[in-house]
Structure 1
């Protein structure tokens, strides 16, 4: 199925040209050299790869921009074009970007993707305090390769938006990056182990796994000792651990278990299952598993996979407990379904990256995702039925 569909994937012939089309914003300095001059006199019609799309003035949009339009103090100029030429704007006397005014503009910029579940979703950079929170300024924005209208600072951001950032010195050390961004550029400082250290670390990991398999040491204890050893050998730092440890997943799982226990103790699920039992007949456990799987699959297309799993695991756990069957197939159904996001670009971070790299549309995901989702659903449910229910 994957081989057949891969050959039919659309090729965006013009995507290479659209790929660098970002929306940039700059402001006319008060009492600067551009005040009182026309757009043509200021040389803003000759920026080659950048096009002046609109002027924002006192809540009004001037669009299209005429060469004879006169620039005033405080005008915000919205450009579209190649973000790599943003330096052309800062070289225009009397015109500056927010990053330049904040002293963040550097020779290298950082390109990031707004992650699913990010605190930025549905909020603007201004309302969130973007500068203080991330020590960075938004230089340009791209959304589905289209021109974005309005002030960048007041634009509600969405998962999948591409942002070009001018960053401060400690941007890479911020502990909230992985939760909010997928860093696409190579500006982020990532320490790499030399080949010898990498070989020793891999060998140590396999040794711990082997010892755990032989029953010589619990796997959790072995991994903890290995982590302490990495820290003592300066392979990882405390900041690395804080930034990379999935605290949010631990919190979600712990909360899900608490909710599941509460649902079982309150006998809420048991009463629901008892009411539905006559309708489900003797196949109640497996049909309940199918329902859990389908609901989780729908949720993971609308929200993140972690959130979908956290919401549905308590229901599956409680349903299994109330039905008197093994919890494991229900837990696996939730896990597999939460990882089965093929219909939208928002359910999983990889989908967003692929969408922006290849220029796919939401329609492409629906058209090519539904046969994969159908095959995935049938395969997973058949496997779970064979392993856990066929014997009964």
Structure 2
């Protein structure tokens, strides 16, 4: 059977001098699993974490302890992703980032930023990039963007600027900042673990800070000078939510006639939602306006009802329920009761880990849980206004929600949502800022401290040889991060129950599921084979050119699948390629890491892009328009920087 499935790759052997390589049945099986994973990642037929678990199951079923030993993965190796140091470190860092956000320190900096920016676009961009970039080096960049989306949206609205001009720069700047330190992004932590396994060389805390600073400066200059000019104003400054989502034609006022069968019914029971795609948003009675919660309000003759429905549905309701048409609200002001000073219309972004992901509005009972009505929502650039109840919600979808102010406050305090507007009276633990800052400084400082030098210096100065013991002290980020979690709870920065809500469990399951895939690629020889194919370009390109090819290839792959998945797949191939062309394998590891952590081309390649997709009103092409030149620019800057600092 082996002879039937294998074939010789003569061209690769000639180009690399590595000898004749053969495709074995085990390679074919692993490549098949990779193809299945890629298809599922791109199509989102299954959530990405479920896809990762499926990959893990397939590897074990077809592995050493399974039906046939095609993947070389034992049950222990298949589940090793859960105990992997990268997985646990990412889990701890997510909790630490949540603790920082609970103190409100990032939001406070954001308010200072708002006062500085005013209505000057250049200042707004400088403030956006200047805050999100550096902070993302020390707090995981994903929660940084989640925290800053409402801050930046408010800056845009107050400064008479389109949010479209600021939100993509926010996401991109957080990616730049994520490359300042080991803990800036989960991708760095995962890449460090893979590098330790393949090369016995994990990343230090500030391993690539010098190159990260260059990327931050170059990328920021691009966004300040060229990038924002390429961004259209998808959300016009003068338009409100009703006009922005173009729902004027889906909002209608009707009056309950004296002989209407709706009289005596509650709002919840008034409309047959199976037969009609319609909602009652407001009830106006004797000049008083009522919004959610109105489900149990009994309708009376003369009540004016504000409906969300298309014109044919409204006409059917008018004919059937004896209602009289009374007009159409055309602005958000007409939807928000005059008696209520606070907002009743907000945009809500659905992040990864939200209970809404994979659910529909109906199955999630969203309206009943939060006394809130969804008027429309954006999904992957499409605005959905009808048949919303059955539509599956995806990560990054942005819901236009109408609710009472207290319901909006509840939404803003829930980690299942990112409300694109700061609450007027936020509940932050500002008194815990010193504790949180000290803990994060300890987490980073203990790992970064050159204990060997300190021990030797103290021993020489004091003459006490016991200080040489410091030379042996080398705590990994895994240990300090977990210690930081304990400290956060002990000092009251986080409550014990909050640490579970802080973890993005889909990211943890994604890591646990795809780590064994990288191991299978190595153990079956698949990485060697692909490395040989890529190494064949060495016959035509110098080592720097092959390094650039890897950067570009990783960037393209990350644009359609998870950044963490692209690292796991590309790093073994990169190391093998480097060895076959006699190049520095660590340089190739860094190229893959930087490319995967700076995915600008699509909104689905990096989670922070999804966070800004809806609130910015962007189309898919906007990310390509702004991201492609940036990706090309940084491909040159990064590969030259790697060659300069680490050599080839």
Q: Which has the higher strand share?
A: 1
Asked if 1:152 corresponds to 2:382, the answer is no
- The equivalent of 1:263 in structure 2 is 521
Once the two structures are TM-superposed, the CA of residue 157 in structure 1 deviates from its matched residue by 4.5
- In 1, the alpha carbon distance for the partners of 2:602 and 2:476 equals 37
Where do residues 285-300 of structure 1 align in structure 2 (5 Å cutoff)?
A: 289-300=547-558
Q: Which has the higher helix share?
A: 2
- In 1, the alpha carbon distance for the partners of 2:351 and 2:375 equals 17
TM-score (norm 1): 0.66
- The equivalent of 1:16 in structure 2 is 238
Asked if 1:373 corresponds to 2:635, the answer is no
Once the two structures are TM-superposed, the CA of residue 297 in structure 1 deviates from its matched residue by 1.5
- In 2, the alpha carbon distance for the partners of 1:169 and 1:256 equals 37
Change (3 A) 1:367 1:241: same
Asked if 1:202 corresponds to 2:437, the answer is yes
Q: Cα RMSD (Å) of the superposition?
A: 4.8
Candidates 401, 416, 420, aligned match of 1:184: 420
Q: Equivalent residue of 2:501, what SS? A: helix
**Contact residue 344 and residue 366 of structure 1 kept, 8 A:** yes
**Contact residue 600 and residue 623 of structure 2 kept, 8 A:** yes
- In 1, the alpha carbon distance for the partners of 2:592 and 2:322 equals 53
- The equivalent of 1:243 in structure 2 is 501
Measured against aligned partners, the alpha-carbon deviations of 1:145-182 in whole angstroms (never above 9, x if no partner) come to 9864422213455544333165599867866x1xxx43
- In 1, the alpha carbon distance for the partners of 2:227 and 2:574 equals 39
Change (3 A) 1:32 1:185: same
**Contact residue 352 and residue 506 of structure 2 kept, 8 A:** no
Where do residues 1-392 of structure 1 align in structure 2 (5 Å cutoff)?
A: 1-5=222-226, 8=229, 9-11=231-233, 14-21=236-243, 22=245, 23=247, 31-33=261-263, 54-55=310-311, 57=313, 70-73=318-321, 81-82=330-331, 85-86=334-335, 111-115=347-351, 124-126=360-362, 129-131=363-365, 135-136=369-370, 137-143=372-378, 148-157=384-393, 159-164=396-401, 166=403, 177=416, 181-186=417-422, 191-195=427-431, 197-212=432-447, 213-215=449-451, 218-220=475-477, 221-274=479-532, 277-281=535-539, 289-303=547-561, 307-321=562-576, 323-324=578-579, 328-351=586-609, 354=612, 359-390=617-648
**Contact residue 286 and residue 389 of structure 1 kept, 8 A:** no
Change (3 A) 1:255 1:84: farther
**Contact residue 296 and residue 338 of structure 1 kept, 8 A:** yes
Q: Equivalent residue of 2:239, what SS? A: helix
Measured against aligned partners, the alpha-carbon deviations of 1:292-345 in whole angstroms (never above 9, x if no partner) come to 432332233334xxx133134233224414753665434433332223333344
Measured against aligned partners, the alpha-carbon deviations of 1:75-132 in whole angstroms (never above 9, x if no partner) come to 9x9x7754565466xxxxxxxxxxxxxxxxx985663113479786786423xx1217
- In 2, the alpha carbon distance for the partners of 1:184 and 1:161 equals 9
- In 2, the alpha carbon distance for the partners of 1:82 and 1:157 equals 26
- In 1, the alpha carbon distance for the partners of 2:237 and 2:408 equals 31
**Contact residue 316 and residue 331 of structure 1 kept, 8 A:** yes
Once the two structures are TM-superposed, the CA of residue 259 in structure 1 deviates from its matched residue by 1.5
- In 2, the alpha carbon distance for the partners of 1:134 and 1:317 equals 49
Residue ranges of structure 1 left out of the alignment (5+ in a row):
36-41, 89-105
TM-score (norm 2): 0.43
- In 2, the alpha carbon distance for the partners of 1:169 and 1:11 equals 29
Once the two structures are TM-superposed, the CA of residue 375 in structure 1 deviates from its matched residue by 0.7
Change (3 A) 1:270 1:189: farther
Change (3 A) 1:247 1:169: same
- In 1, the alpha carbon distance for the partners of 2:409 and 2:236 equals 36
Change (3 A) 1:286 1:240: farther
**Contact residue 309 and residue 386 of structure 2 kept, 8 A:** no
Change (3 A) 1:335 1:248: farther
- In 2, the alpha carbon distance for the partners of 1:383 and 1:188 equals 45
**Contact residue 547 and residue 591 of structure 2 kept, 8 A:** yes
Once the two structures are TM-superposed, the CA of residue 236 in structure 1 deviates from its matched residue by 0.2
- In 2, the alpha carbon distance for the partners of 1:358 and 1:163 equals 13
**Contact residue 294 and residue 337 of structure 1 kept, 8 A:** yes
**Contact residue 235 and residue 616 of structure 2 kept, 8 A:** no
- In 1, the alpha carbon distance for the partners of 2:577 and 2:436 equals 45
Once the two structures are TM-superposed, the CA of residue 245 in structure 1 deviates from its matched residue by 2.5
Once the two structures are TM-superposed, the CA of residue 359 in structure 1 deviates from its matched residue by 4.8
Q: Equivalent residue of 2:389, what SS? A: helix
- In 2, the alpha carbon distance for the partners of 1:313 and 1:287 equals 22
